[in-house]
Each structure stands twice: as C-alpha cells, then as structure tokens.
Structure 1
Amino acid sequence: MKHITLLVLFVTLWGCKKEYTYKNEIKEDVVFLSDDKLEGRETGTQGEQEAANYIVKRFKEMGLAPKGTENYFQPFNFKPKTNPHDEVKFVTMEADGTITGTNVLGYIDNQVEQTVIIGAHYDHLGFGSEGSLYRGEEKQIHNGADDNASGVAVMLDLAGKLQKANTSNNYLFMAFSGEEMGLLGSNYFAKNSTIDLEHVNYMINMDMVGRLKQDSTLAVYGVGTSPRFKQVLSATNKSFKIIENESGIGPSDHTSFYLQDIPVLHFFTGQHEDYHKPSDDFDKLNYDGMNLVSNYIFDVISELDGQGKMAFRKTKNESEETPRFKVGMGVIPDYLFDGKGMRIDGVSEGKPAKRAGLEKGDIVIKMGDSSIVDMMSYMRALATFKQGDTTKVVVTRNGTEVEKELIF
C-alpha cells in the first residue's frame, strides 16, 4: 500500500510539472555572458565553463533535451598552434599542453526525420589573446557582448519560441566553443556529430547580431547555398535593409556545416570600433534590434517549415579571391555599406589612416591610381602597396571630396 501511495504521489507531481512559457530574456542572457566574472570566456578557461553551465541551465528551463556526448556537453581536446600557418590538431585525451573546449547542445525532438541546427559561438578572447585589437599596456577583460553573447542570446530566444512551433523539423541548438581559435567547436562537431548529418535540413548561425544600426542594415550570408533561401528571406522581411552574400564560406561557424554540404544562413549586424576590444560591453548593444533579428529568423524558419528538405547548392568561395596584404590602413570597413566606395566604420589610433587624417564615415573612392567602387576593389588596391609606400587617398566626407596623403 505504501508503494502504491508513493507511485500515485509521483504521478501527481509529474502531471503538475510546470510547462515552459516563453519569455524574452535576451538582455538578461547578454548581461550574464558578458559579465567581468566570466573573464572573457576564453576557450578552456573556468569563465568559459561557467558560461557553458549557464547555457545548460537555460536549456533545462526550456525543456531542451541533452544532445552532447556527456549530457549537454561535447568536450574536445586540442593542441594550440605554435605556428600561425599550421592547423590545430584535435587529440583524443587530455595531456600536457592541450586545451579542452566544450560545445553545448540542446535538442527539441518533434519526432520527425529532418533537423535544423541553430548555432552561435559563446567563447571570446579572455584577457586579450591572439586576435585582440586592444593596444593598451595593461591586460583587460574582453567581455565580447556583441561577439558573441549577442548571438547566443538570440539562439536561446529562438529555442524558447520554437518549443511548440514549426514542428515539421527537430531543432538542435548549439553553443560553439573555440570559434575565436579557428572555428574549432563547429569543426569538431561536423566531424564527430551527435546526430546524423544526412538528416540535417539546414543550419542557421548568428555571430555579432547585437549592433543593428539606424538604417537597419542586416547582412545575411549563405543565401546561395539553397535555391529557396532568397525568396524566403525577401518574403519574410518587414524591417531590414538586407545585404546578401551568396557564399557559404566565411569567418564563422556556418562554414563548418557548408563544407559538409549543408545549406547555411549566417546573420550579422556589422563591424564596429569595439570589435575584439575590452569596450565591447552589454550597454552598447541595440536590444530592440536584437528582438527584430530574432523575430525575423523565426519568421524565416516558419516560412521554411513544412517545405521538406532544402536542396544544397555549392557557391563560389570568395575567400580564395581575396588579395593578400603586406600593409593595412588601420581602419574598420563598413561591410554592410552598399554604396559606391569603401566606407570607414572606425579608425585605429597610431595607424596610417589616423595619421593621414581619415575619419569614421569617410568613403574611400580612390587610392593612388585605383578607383574604389566596392570592398573587393579596395582590397585589390591595398594589396599593391608595401611598407614605406606613400599614396594619395580620396574620400567623400559629408558629400565633399577630400584628398589625403597616406604613408604605410
């Protein structure tokens, strides 16, 4: 009789288990992940592990099932590069000199054949490892609010929205480790997947989606990797000026899945002066813009729901056409600018552009004898110079042409 009573009590408690109700927690997630106490979430550190534990907590709150190799986690070990031209080598066991990264995986199982992967990297640069653009003498924490607490927060928001919606696909949500060291976490998963990649419908990646500008420009990469993407992106767009890029190859985690012949879409709100610096903090993010991005991606997923498996299409690898540089101007290009020329979105202290008097907002239209009409023509022109060269640079500033002398 005692056992029967306990069984009835257990069934009653299980039946009363509170179901998850969607709540927008984008800002709260960013604030936690970009807090100083996580010390910049560098791969393999305690701060990154605390971030991973937080993501697991959020997955559990939303009722996502674990889909890693160790519950929600997929740890991987690697030896860091000693030569920048070498590839990182994954190893099977921890040993002296190895680093352990940890992917975090949560799953919505709708009991169907195809799965959509939705991902964002959660690692960053710690106190300013390789890749930092900070030039101060004292080490400072690189919190990476936009890069990429923003993408993780939108991923978590989509997990909440998709709990009871768009059930023609399963959903695998992934927070990748090791992106800043060379797309390591996504690369490892693609080669050691915990689901059958043959049944992956498409992959959505979000990296730096927290700084939507006033003109609402949103870059979407990978639009050429499936024939349906362009039409769906246009049909669901109510808020953005979309800059499309067809290539499935780029400097973020979607590349790892494109190389497995999976259609990909990558969302990005643009570069800025705080990129890879300690100043990339939560108070500089556009949270209304992040909500718009999340809603847009949800609408894209909704439009694709029920359309079956997306056909994959190979795209031209634009990175193979990128010229190699011996020098740099010391500017942050505005990659979302679609006018004539190359618009400067930031100028680094002590670099050639700053010394020449170039400013944020200037649009480079000529370098030496070369006309600059877009990003590619700018890069081709820049590749012709070497250290010590002097050239004339013509920019438009507030509608007026200005000529400056620049010394590399």
Structure 2
Amino acid sequence: MKRIAYYAAVLGIVCTHLVHAQSVDNLKKHISYLASDKLEGRGTGTEGGKTAAAYLEKQFKKIGLKPYGDKGSYLQEFPAKKGLPPNVSYVQATNVVGFLDNGSDKTIVIGAHYDHLGKGDQGSSLEANSAGLIHNGADDNASGTAGLIELAKFYAKNKIKEKHNFLFIGFSGEELGLIGSKYYADNATIDLKSVNCMINMDMIGRYRDDKGLTIGGWGTSSFWGKNMPQLALNQGVKYNVDSAGVGPSDHTSFYLKNLPVLFFFTGAHQEYHKPSDDANLINYEGELKVLELAKGIIEKIDESPKLDFIQVANNPHAGNARSSFKVTMGIIPDYAFDKGGVKVDGVTKGRPAEKAGLQTGDVILKLGDNTTNDVQEYMKALGKFEKGQTIDAEIKRGAEKIILKITF
C-alpha cells in the first residue's frame, strides 16, 4: 500500500508539472504571435489590429464560448478617432466578446485590451523619433490578452459548473482612451445589472518578486480586502493596492457603471510604450502567478453572495496612475467626444474638479489661459499647473457657459 501511495504521489507531481509547463507554453504561443512584427503593433483600426481580433475570435470559438458581440457574432464594432491634430482620422474598431453560459443570473466580466500603438502613430509613444517603428506591446497588452484566453479556456474546460456565467471581452481602442470598454459599457450585450464584478488584466507580464503586483479597484468593494490578503499569502504573491475604481485602463468604464472592479497590473518599466516591449522580456512564470491569483479570487466570488459596491473617494492618483503631472483634476474624459472641448465622463469624489462643482456631462472649454479643444490640449494645459495653484475653468453646462475656480 505504501508503494501504491508513493507512485500515486509521484504521478500527481508529474501531472502538475506537465500542466504547468503546458500553461507556460500556451502563454508563450499567444504572446509571441500577438507581439510579432507580423501584427505591426496591433494599432486600432489597422490590418494588424484586425488580425489580432481575428486571432482572439478564433480562440474563443475553439474554446466553445458563445458569440456575444453584435448580430450573433463575436465582434462588436464601433468608430474610433485616432491620431493627433492635424493628422486625425476615424477608423472602425472592434471588441471581441465571448460568453460562457452556466445558467446563472450572475455574471463575472473578465477583460483585457488587445490593441497597442501600431507603428508609433497614435500619439503616446515614449520613444523619440518613433514614427514608423513597430511597437509590439508584448506586455502592453499581449500579456493580458493571453491571460484572457487562458482563463476562458480554464473555465470552459474545467468540468466544474460555476455559480456565475463568464463574459470574456478583448477590448480595442484602449490606447486611444478606453474607447472600446466605454463603448461596450454603454452598449452592453448583457444586462449590466446581472454583472457581479469586472476583472481587468493590463500589463501582467513583468511580475517581479521584489516589486510585486499592483491590485487596483481595491476600494470598490469590501470583498477584496476581506479575501485577497490570505489568497496572496497562500500563493506567495507580493502585492500593493490602489483603492481607485478609475485608472488608465478598461476597468474604469465598468466602475463608472457602479460595478465593483479589480485591476491586475505588474507595473511600468523602461520598455513601456516603446518599440522594445518584446516577448523575450515577459516573465511567463510570473504571469502564471497572476492568473492563479485571479482564479483564487474568482473561486471566492463564486462561493459568496453578491458583492457590495463602494464609490471610492479622494484618491489623489485616480485616472492618472501612469502620468507624470504635478497636479490632477480627478475627471474621466470622454475620449470619443469630438464637438469641441473635453466632455467629462466621470468625476472623482474629493478631487479638485468635484470640489469646484464640476459635473458629469460638463464640457471643459478652457483651463486658465489655455483652450482645451480636445483631450490632447487638455493634457498639455494640465502639465503647466502647480500644486496649490487656483485657476479659472471655463465650462459649458448644457447651453450655459460658467466659470469655476479649480484649486489643485
């Protein structure tokens, strides 16, 4: 009997190693393809971006997810504005949406954006003279897209019928200003009232034990703080928390619909938004750690009643987690708005905009002496101000123009 138990234990270890190795191989396969020169940086509306969408669609179909885009397909198309004045163009962009139906009245949304900067022509490359250079975006965000595919495969094939349905979404237009996730949240193909929470993966491929994982959305539900610490401890994952529900990625669009969100992010690095963000720099073992942590918290969600939602107040970095500005206003701009000015899509409690009386739906026309005809001009203006400074902001509210005092 001891010999049988011994061989069973050895077999279990061997099987575990084989599954682990297969998971690493799968991540390598997805990321190597998505971040290859063939896809030319997966720019929104480009041929490379369309090829990436087709790859994601093929994976969802192979896994057996139901098509949950528009008109019975996996695809949800929407218009997107790209480029900087005077070289602004409009393109057709595509979200890729698949549904795992477990017959539940509750759904967990899991998302990741698959677009990147193309050939550096979208205005956010951090490489000097980068026009024409392919930005492969292995970490940003082929890593999250690969994780999305592997989680979809896991829940579709694990022979366990969870108490939640799962909606898997590959977003486009994130690099242009969260356009794809905003479009989906405003034009959802499921009833958002059935959504228990949204989990977003953006740049999860550079985990380091000394630096750890950043978990955003921590303050949007008490559930995260009650359950995540022990899970992370058990799995040996070091982490930092960001309470904000808004930030520079697609969970923001769901938080603004009053849904609890969770955001996994392994941090910025020297290759961020540069052509050098390549697949050979991905920590595949580290990404598996992040995915196992995601599975762990999903298991806890599945065992629990509906999550509470908390509107997070007074986060000084809300909406600007990757910016280097000295000041923030605490607004979410509507990046798709193109009728002159910057339309406010959300206002963070306790921040300068909210304290000054700015409201969702307002249009910012001017900050101090700086006109803000679009988001790019707004960002340039914001970079000129200092902490403690008070400025006049010209605002259009409905048909009326008003002046508000903004103190940073």
Q: TM-score, normalization: structure 1?
A: 0.69
Provide the C-alpha distance between the structure 2 equivalents of 1:151 and 1:116, rounded to a whole number of angstroms.
17
Provide the C-alpha distance between the structure 2 equivalents of 1:268 and 1:127, rounded to a whole number of angstroms.
24
Provide the C-alpha distance between the structure 1 equivalents of 2:274 and 2:84, rounded to a whole number of angstroms.
23
1:144-200 CA distance string (max 9 Å, x none): 000000001111111111123461100000000000000000000000000000100
Is contact 1:126-1:142 (8 Å) kept? Answer: yes
Provide the C-alpha distance between the structure 1 equivalents of 2:148 and 2:208, rounded to a whole number of angstroms.
20
One-letter amino acid of the counterpart of residue 49, structure 1:
K
Offset of 1:214 from its aligned partner? 3.6
Match of 2:221 among 226, 230, 236: 226
Match of 1:146 among 139, 149, 152: 139
Answer yes or no: is 1:305 the counterpart of 2:302: yes
Q: What is the SS of the residue equivalent to 2:310?
A: coil
Give 1:80-229 correspondences, 5 Å limit: 80=82, 97-129=89-121, 130-136=123-129, 139-163=132-156, 164-165=159-160, 167-215=162-210, 217-229=212-224
Is contact 1:183-1:253 (8 Å) kept? Answer: yes
Offset of 1:79 from its aligned partner? 3.8
Match of 1:261 among 258, 262, 272: 258
Offset of 1:309 from its aligned partner? 1.5
1:266-323 CA distance string (max 9 Å, x none): 0000110000000000000000001111111001101111312211110025246979
* Corresponding residue for residue 74 of structure 2: 72
Question: Which structure has the highest helix share of the two?
Answer: 2
* Corresponding residue for residue 366 of structure 1: none
1:188-243 CA distance string (max 9 Å, x none): 00000000001000000000000011425010000111111112111211221110
Provide the C-alpha distance between the structure 1 equivalents of 2:184 and 2:212, rounded to a whole number of angstroms.
31
Provide the C-alpha distance between the structure 2 equivalents of 1:43 and 1:309, rounded to a whole number of angstroms.
35
Offset of 1:136 from its aligned partner? 3.7
> Identity rate of aligned residues, in percent?
45
Is contact 2:246-2:318 (8 Å) kept? Answer: no
Q: What is the SS of the residue equivalent to 1:180?
A: coil
Is contact 2:119-2:131 (8 Å) kept? Answer: no
Answer yes or no: is 1:276 the counterpart of 2:273: yes
Is contact 1:77-1:100 (8 Å) kept? Answer: yes
- Going from structure 1 to structure 2, the CA distance change for 1:321 and 1:251 (only over 3 Å counts) comes to closer
Is contact 1:151-1:206 (8 Å) kept? Answer: yes
Provide the C-alpha distance between the structure 2 equivalents of 1:244 and 1:181, rounded to a whole number of angstroms.
26
* RMSD over aligned Cα atoms: 2.8
- Going from structure 1 to structure 2, the CA distance change for 1:297 and 1:324 (only over 3 Å counts) comes to closer
Is contact 1:219-1:242 (8 Å) kept? Answer: yes
Provide the C-alpha distance between the structure 2 equivalents of 1:150 and 1:220, rounded to a whole number of angstroms.
16
Q: What is the SS of the residue equivalent to 2:198?
A: strand
Provide the C-alpha distance between the structure 1 equivalents of 2:105 and 2:155, rounded to a whole number of angstroms.
17
Provide the C-alpha distance between the structure 2 equivalents of 1:77 and 1:208, rounded to a whole number of angstroms.
25
Give 1:377-388 correspondences, 5 Å limit: 383=386
Is contact 1:325-1:383 (8 Å) kept? Answer: no
- Going from structure 1 to structure 2, the CA distance change for 1:317 and 1:34 (only over 3 Å counts) comes to farther
Q: What is the SS of the residue equivalent to 2:245?
A: coil
Give 1:12-23 correspondences, 5 Å limit: none
> Rg: which structure is higher?
1
Provide the C-alpha distance between the structure 1 equivalents of 2:197 and 2:131, rounded to a whole number of angstroms.
43
1:128-148 CA distance string (max 9 Å, x none): 021001114662100000000
One-letter amino acid of the counterpart of residue 235, structure 1:
Q
Provide the C-alpha distance between the structure 1 equivalents of 2:74 and 2:302, rounded to a whole number of angstroms.
26
- Going from structure 1 to structure 2, the CA distance change for 1:205 and 1:166 (only over 3 Å counts) comes to farther
Provide the C-alpha distance between the structure 2 equivalents of 1:66 and 1:244, rounded to a whole number of angstroms.
34
Answer yes or no: is 1:49 the counterpart of 2:33: no
Answer yes or no: is 1:59 the counterpart of 2:52: no
Match of 2:242 among 234, 241, 245: 245
- Going from structure 1 to structure 2, the CA distance change for 1:178 and 1:291 (only over 3 Å counts) comes to same
Give 1:305-344 correspondences, 5 Å limit: 305-316=302-313, 318=315, 319=317, 325=325
- Going from structure 1 to structure 2, the CA distance change for 1:37 and 1:270 (only over 3 Å counts) comes to same
Where structure 2 has 5 or more consecutive residues not aligned to the other structure, the ranges are 1-18, 328-382, 389-408
Is contact 2:102-2:161 (8 Å) kept? Answer: no
1:13-42 CA distance string (max 9 Å, x none): xxxxxxxx9962111100110010000000
Answer yes or no: is 1:295 the counterpart of 2:297: no
Is contact 1:166-1:305 (8 Å) kept? Answer: no
Q: Which stretch of the first structure deviates more once superposed, 238-247 or 45-54?
A: 238-247
- Going from structure 1 to structure 2, the CA distance change for 1:138 and 1:267 (only over 3 Å counts) comes to closer
- Going from structure 1 to structure 2, the CA distance change for 1:232 and 1:69 (only over 3 Å counts) comes to same
